[in-house]
Amino acid sequence: MIWGAWICLLSPLVAAVLITLGGTRITRRTAGYLATASCFVAFGGALASFIGLLGRDGSQRELVSTAWTWISGGSYRSGLEVIVDPLSVFMMLIVSGVGALIVAYSIGYMDGEDEERRYFAYMALFVFSMLLLVQGGNLLLLLAGWGMVGLSSYLLIGFWHERPSAVAAAKKAFVMNAIGDATMALAFFLLILKGNSLEFGILGGEFSSTVATLVALGLLGGAVAKSAQIPLQTWLPDAMEGPTPVSALIHAATMVTAGVYLIVRTHAIFEAAPKIADLAAGLGAATLLVAGLIALVQVDIKKVIAYSTMSQIGYMFLGAGIGAYGYAIFHLMTHAFFKALLFMTAGLVIHHLDGEQDIRKMGGLRSVMPRTHVAFAVGGLALMGIPIFSGFWSKDGIVSAAFASGDALGYTLAAAGLVGALLTGLYTTRLYFAVWRGEQSDVVREHAHEGHGEGPRTMTVPVGVLTVLATIGGLVVIPGVWEPFLYWIDETAEPLVQATVTEDYATSVVAVSLALIGFFLARRAFEKGRQVVTNPGIWRVLEHKLYFDEAYDALFYRPAAALSVALRRNVEEPVVERSLDEIGSGTIHVGGEVGRIQSGLLRIYAIAVAFAVCVLVVVFVAVR
């Protein structure tokens, strides 16, 4: 029950500590097995908690276990506590379950790396941090986990630290996330000021609308940064510099979806500030369109999937913003399955081609890696939202909920969601054809006879498991027939909108037809000339990712750099450095002069002391 939650939380931490302390005394393989085992233990703990909750009544499914009081000051108090409720248990299952599969996959993928042990220690640390984030029983612990996933993400993006691009990407991710951490911390300060508590319950309290808006805005800032939504989205594509399993775990399945978890967890404050909730939905819609468009022209297999991740998280933000919490979390789950699957199959391809990531150099891989091809196709179908596959059930739920919310905003959001479905069909098909169909490219032929096969067992088994999950994982919500998943999440976050069954299926028909149109358009484009976007002007704009990086560079980086240079030239060098030099040389000079008094003659010193005593005696007597 509650002990399951503690086991779940602590076992990855234990593994991280053991691997770190073990150093070279444990083999690289042992480090991998240790990390994997700890994640499976964590999954077991999560399962125990889940089963424990199932055995309880719907109204009593919220348990808090406090280890000790962590921080207290005045009347403020925060405990080191874990919360076990339907939402946190669900996130625990996803994080530890998908995490275990991906860490197991890493054993094969990272085989032969020089610093495998460091990699697995970081991975275990990440899983611990993510579990702390979702299990933290108050906002302060949530923020601690929030910061720690940022740290582990930074460490893992920059894992290949001899590559300057990886180091730059890690730094970028960290700085972007720090902006979000800062706005969240400000929101928490405001909460402490007004409510003197950081318990989750405080969020539903009575706040003036200004306070509620500011707090919600701060939380949204954190969510946007962590989940790579516009305007803080630019770090995610660069984060693909990290190893592919890291992209699968952190930048697809778990960490980047933490923003969605945050909004659902703190939904009370967003309901008190409906404008900010609308803003969240709007940002989600904007991101899903922009990212979908950019994904059309990317040539790096991982970056296409990364943009698709941004786009899908846009859907989740849309859902969370309009109040369809159950569907947002449901899409989080199915996305974790099929996106981790896509990244892992991409990893198999990259592994097979010895690190080649450019899709222009791929093609015709279907005959070389038939089983991986099937897995990738399943992931792609789930991503496009084709019926039966998991993405179909979740994505359409969000779009129909947007329709059901009724007002102009709702219709706009739903329209954006539908256009997004078309874009998803386009970019997924483009990626699929470029990699798997057509003539075998030179690079593929070069590697075909090397007899790599499809990859070692540690890699193919997790891919197989995820293929199954991506296929049937969506069957826990069939509108109108069987919706246990939604009831489960509703206990934590009551939804604000509810689409009727008719609306649901009507939306599905439209969304699926749009995805299929996307599929056929992209297939025709591929047969004609491999590319979907042919207009060179549009191509250039999209290739530059709508110039976000350039704009931030011009708006923030360049002025800051220019200011620093100017300050150095005009203040640091003439004022600070010169005055320090003056002080130093002056002290040396005075010291030399004073040193002459030190004659080294003991008797002179004694006379000086005696003379001073005499003077003192005279002074005292005279003053009397």
Partner 1 sequence: MMGPGVAWYLAVSGFLFGTGALGVLLRRNPLIVLLSLEIMLNGANLALIGFARNLGDGSGQIFALAVMAVAASEVVVGLGLVVALNRKRVTLDVDRLNTLRG
Closest CA to 106 of 129, 122, 130: 122
Handedness of CA 358, 359, 360, 361 (dihedral sign): positive
Could you tell me how many residues of this chain bind partner 1 (CB under 8 A)? 13
Contacting residue, 528, 596, 620, 623, with partner 1 by CB under 8 A: 596
> Of 54 and 612, which CB lies nearer to partner 1 in the complex structure?
612
Should residue 594 be labelled a site residue for partner 1 when binding is judged by CB under 8 A? yes
Closest CA to 290 of 74, 541, 121, 575: 541
Should residue 623 be labelled a site residue for partner 1 when binding is judged by CB under 8 A? no
> Of 501 and 604, which CB lies nearer to partner 1 in the complex structure?
604
- Over the range 270-294, which residues count as b (16 or more CB within 10 Å of their CB) and which as e? bbbbbebbbbbbbbbbbbbbbbbbb
CB of 615 to partner 1, least distance (A): 15
What would the x/- binding string for partner 1 be over residues 542 to 581, using CB under 8 A?
Answer: ----------------------------------------
Contacting residue, 60, 75, 535, 599, with partner 1 by CB under 8 A: 599
> Of 24 and 599, which CB lies nearer to partner 1 in the complex structure?
599
Single out the segment in contact with partner 1 by CB under 8 A; choices: 343-351, 422-430, 492-500, 591-599.
591-599
Should residue 355 be labelled a site residue for partner 1 when binding is judged by CB under 8 A? no
Closest CA to 310 of 325, 291, 286: 291
Closest CA to 129 of 153, 145, 142: 145
Should residue 610 be labelled a site residue for partner 1 when binding is judged by CB under 8 A? yes
> Of 75 and 599, which CB lies nearer to partner 1 in the complex structure?
599
Closest CA to 264 of 488, 3, 5: 488
Residues 6+ apart with CB under 8 A from 44: 4, 7, 8
> Of 193 and 602, which CB lies nearer to partner 1 in the complex structure?
602
Single out the segment in contact with partner 1 by CB under 8 A; choices: 261-269, 424-432, 474-482, 601-609.
601-609
Should residue 598 be labelled a site residue for partner 1 when binding is judged by CB under 8 A? yes
> Of 59 and 599, which CB lies nearer to partner 1 in the complex structure?
599
Contacting residue, 590, 606, 612, 615, with partner 1 by CB under 8 A: 606
CB of 594 to partner 1, least distance (A): 7
CB of 584 to partner 1, least distance (A): 19
Should residue 595 be labelled a site residue for partner 1 when binding is judged by CB under 8 A? yes
> Of 509 and 606, which CB lies nearer to partner 1 in the complex structure?
606
Conformational region of residue 129, where left means phi above 0, alpha means psi within -120 to 50, and beta covers everything else = alpha
Cα separation values, 350 from 106, 169, 355, 501, Å: 13, 20, 5, 43
Single out the segment in contact with partner 1 by CB under 8 A; choices: 10-18, 522-530, 572-580, 598-606.
598-606
Should residue 597 be labelled a site residue for partner 1 when binding is judged by CB under 8 A? yes
Should residue 509 be labelled a site residue for partner 1 when binding is judged by CB under 8 A? no
Cα separation values, 585 from 579, 580, 596, Å: 10, 9, 18
CB of 582 to partner 1, least distance (A): 23
Conformational region of residue 230, where left means phi above 0, alpha means psi within -120 to 50, and beta covers everything else = beta
Single out the segment in contact with partner 1 by CB under 8 A; choices: 193-201, 321-329, 377-385, 600-608.
600-608
Should residue 607 be labelled a site residue for partner 1 when binding is judged by CB under 8 A? yes
CB atoms within 10 A of CB 232: 24
SS3 readout for 9-46: HHHHHHHHHHHHHHHHHCCHHHHHHHHHHHHHHHHHHH
Cα separation values, 561 from 166, 373, 555, 573, Å: 22, 47, 11, 16
Should residue 603 be labelled a site residue for partner 1 when binding is judged by CB under 8 A? yes
Bond into 231 cis (ω within 30): yes
> Of 555 and 607, which CB lies nearer to partner 1 in the complex structure?
607
- Chain positions contacting partner 1, by CB under 8 A: 594-603, 606-607, 610
